Structure 1
Amino acid sequence: MLKRPPRDLRLDVLRGWMQVSIFVSHAFGTAFAWGIHAAWGVSDSSEQFVLLSGLVLGSVFSLKFARDGFGAAWRDIGMRAARLWRMHLLVFFAFAAMVFGFDLFTPLDGVVEAGGWCWLASEPWFAIPGAMVGLYQPDFMGVLPLFVLCMLLLPGFVLLLTRFGARALILPWGLYIATQVFELRPPALGGTYIAFDPLAWQVLFMTGIWLGWRALHGAGPLARPWWLVSLAVSVVLLGFWVKLSMHGFAPEMPAWVLALTDKDVLAPLRLAHALSLAWLVSILVPREARWMQQAFPQAMAAIGRNSLQVFCLGLFLSWIVAALFRLFPADRMLLDLALIPAGIAILIAFARWREGDRSVSYREATARSQ
């Protein structure tokens, strides 16, 4: 029988900070974007979130598989995927209503076309099924379909891990290499594009599953030879230099180097940077660091424990902030100083509220069972 490991507070804090970073990065035009790690490297919070989600969900599935059997674990992950799919559709329609509302009732013209929502307006009988299968992806609608697909692939990959161990990684990594060599990509509908090519991005999720699976089976930390640590540091420094070049602070990089940082297809330098950064953080940040008990890290941990709901709320808040920047360009600096901290405070308050509401529900359920 596998034993559930103690909760790692680092994961909650990091996932919370990544949600804040995603909110800031989506508020296009904010000066606060210079304060997140995406401004200084060629990967961002998306890669880390996919990797950690694979680790957490892979651990949950593997533990339930060991305790209750494959059928129970499969039903559990299937229900989680179904809930996430419903959440994606809810966000899709609510986001569409917001965008169309701004287009109709504010001077902000062209947001429907710019965001890829025209197909929904002109041919909803085709656009809605396209959204349901994840192939119609207006702005900000690309990441949740990726997670739904990866969750559906999770049970089969865990079976491969159970049978073949780490050799099972040959399959997702082989598929990733094929996407880079042969430019494999699913078709996009409605004039949009696939923001996160699932054939490539699955490699982060599956690698996370493997990390969670091996930890549950009592494997120790990954080896840390000096040459591998040096390589990881070199990749992070290279990403920093490339980003300086993009900002105009360093000599311009050749086009082929910039192509290696492409996000849509998770290009090789971007993937290497994300994995190097994640590994170095796991090495350098102690599991029981005292600073994580302070107020701000605890607030980030609350966000991390409610990351899906906070992510969805953050999408709306960031889009509204960016829209207000465009509506009131003369007041942009003041709006930036007010709206970004206010948005972060709303995300923290929302996460705290969800935690309190969940605690009340748990106590009520316990009382009824007694």
Structure 2
Amino acid sequence: MSSSAAPAAYPTGPAEGPAPSAASGRDLRLDLFRGLALWFIFLNHVPNNVANWITNRNFGFSDATEIFVFISGYTAAMVYGRQLNGSGAIVTSARILRRAWQLYVAFIFLFVIYLAEISYVVGSFENPLYAEEMGALQFLAEPDVALVQALLLKFRPANMDVLPLYIALLATFPPILIALKRWPDATLGASFLLWAAVQVWGFNLPGYPDDRMWFFNPFAWQFLFAFGGWCGLGGSDRLTGLIQSRAVLALAAAYLVVSLLVVLSWWWPPLEGFVPDAVGEIIYPISKTDLSPLRLLHFLALAVVVVRLVPVDMPALRWPVLRPMILCGQHSLEVFCFGVFLSFAAHFVLNEVTGSLTMQLTLSLAGICLMVALSALLSWYARAERDAAARRMAERLGSS
């Protein structure tokens, strides 16, 4: 990945284990911003929490989801693209589908434990509002039907929508990867046309109950995933000249400023007149479900600015203070699932104990610390497994 056109963010997905260290040549920005996205997702999932005002969703049209999906595509193409060259299409496709299956199993496990957590709180405190807030009423009313719908990825309680989206994108990735390797520009163009068709006709996958659709429309979000894959297979190098252009940087920065003012106008009365009614009729609604053009452009503009401000060889990337964020980025699946549990637990404490500012900040910091602790534990265990495997190999070689 080039130092200039590389993406600014990225969450693990396809990799089979912890990411290599910086010494192996890995772009630490990927794990760094992936970890930051996971922290933001956790904070955003805790309602009535002042700490979530620091997340990027409050400063522009896009949020951590764009980071997650783009980097997932980038990583999938980078990891499995190399395997495609060495192992062929059939073996590589099988590995991708195996990873998608692992994510599916993780989703079912998360669903069961998460619903158990919600059901316990609802029953113990006799407060059905928790079930309503977390989108679990259907499960409590018809658990057998809801469970089947969850197996079909149609029923998803609150805060779990990202994982089914990623499962769908990865499960359909084998033919896309092959096409990206052979016809990268044509494949990206076809992906863009599908995204554009969604903007016009709004088709989506059905959800559960029957009046709902997928919160993250996979027909729209596939473009960001495919664009990440295109960049991961060398497209980022081709964008170097564009990203290094001062004019592009100025346009990106200007768009970020305008989007910031628009978002602030939603919360700050003095700026309410910043968006004229005629303009509002054109730009609203800024759909997250269908990845509206304004959200997509905001993410791309943000990526341009961040790539320019944070070069790949920036010494600060190796500062110890950033290590916790990088660790979380190296174990995104586990950290994301853990964050879902923690966010509901924090929501419960804020409702039942106290919603004071001190408690909000304490729970936010505690949740992030626990996520870091989990990632550190997983990294330690992975190192122990590698060391044990190396010793076994040495013993076999010594005895032969």
Task: Give yes or no for TM over 0.5.
Answer: yes
Q: How far off is 1:337 after superposition?
A: 2.5
- Give 1:283's match in structure 2, choosing from 298, 302, 308: 308
- Give 1:194's match in structure 2, choosing from 200, 214, 223: 214
2:370 matched residue in structure 1: 346
2:398 matched residue in structure 1: none
Distance 1:296 1:38, change over 3 A: farther
The question of whether the paired residues in 2 share the 8 Å contact of 1:55 and 1:211 is answered with: yes
Q: Does 1:233 align with 2:253?
A: yes
- Give 1:366's match in structure 2, choosing from 380, 390, 393: 390
Unaligned runs of 5+ in 2: 1-19, 395-400
Q: How far off is 1:269 after superposition?
A: 0.5
2:172 matched residue in structure 1: 153
2:153 matched residue in structure 1: 134
Summarize deviations over 1:135-177 as a string: whole Å, max 9, x none: 1122112111111111122211122223322121111111111
Q: Secondary structure at the match of 2:95?
A: helix
The one-letter amino acid of 2:381's match is D
Measure, in 2, the Cα distance between the counterparts of 1:240 and 1:82.
Answer: 39
Distance 1:213 1:44, change over 3 A: same
2:228 matched residue in structure 1: 208
2:41 matched residue in structure 1: 22
The question of whether the paired residues in 2 share the 8 Å contact of 1:185 and 1:197 is answered with: yes
1:40 matched residue in structure 2: 59
The one-letter amino acid of 1:261's match is I
Measure, in 1, the Cα distance between the counterparts of 2:364 and 2:188.
Answer: 40
Aligned positions of 1:249-328 closer than 5 A: 249=269, 250-252=271-273, 253=275, 254=277, 255-256=280-281, 259-328=284-353
Which one is further off, 284-293 or 199-208? 284-293
The question of whether the paired residues in 2 share the 8 Å contact of 1:100 and 1:112 is answered with: yes
The one-letter amino acid of 1:228's match is V
The question of whether the paired residues in 2 share the 8 Å contact of 1:137 and 1:195 is answered with: no
Summarize deviations over 1:162-196 as a string: whole Å, max 9, x none: 33221211111111111110111111112654221
TM-score, scaled relative to structure 1: 0.93
Measure, in 2, the Cα distance between the counterparts of 1:337 and 1:268.
Answer: 34
Which one is further off, 113-122 or 288-297? 113-122
Measure, in 1, the Cα distance between the counterparts of 2:155 and 2:130.
Answer: 17
Summarize deviations over 1:50-80 as a string: whole Å, max 9, x none: 1011101111111000011111211111111
2:8 matched residue in structure 1: none
Aligned positions of 1:177-192 closer than 5 A: 177-190=196-209, 192=212
Q: How far off is 1:101 after superposition?
A: 0.7
Q: Secondary structure at the match of 1:325?
A: helix
Aligned residues: 365
Measure, in 2, the Cα distance between the counterparts of 1:139 and 1:256.
Answer: 29
Unaligned runs of 5+ in 1: none
Measure, in 1, the Cα distance between the counterparts of 2:134 and 2:35.
Answer: 27
The one-letter amino acid of 1:129's match is V
2:11 matched residue in structure 1: none
Q: How far off is 1:126 after superposition?
A: 2.2
Q: Secondary structure at the match of 2:66?
A: helix
The question of whether the paired residues in 1 share the 8 Å contact of 2:176 and 2:187 is answered with: yes
Q: How far off is 1:241 after superposition?
A: 1.0
Which one is further off, 218-227 or 353-362? 218-227
1:70 matched residue in structure 2: 89
1:244 matched residue in structure 2: 264
RMSD: 2.0
2:360 matched residue in structure 1: 336
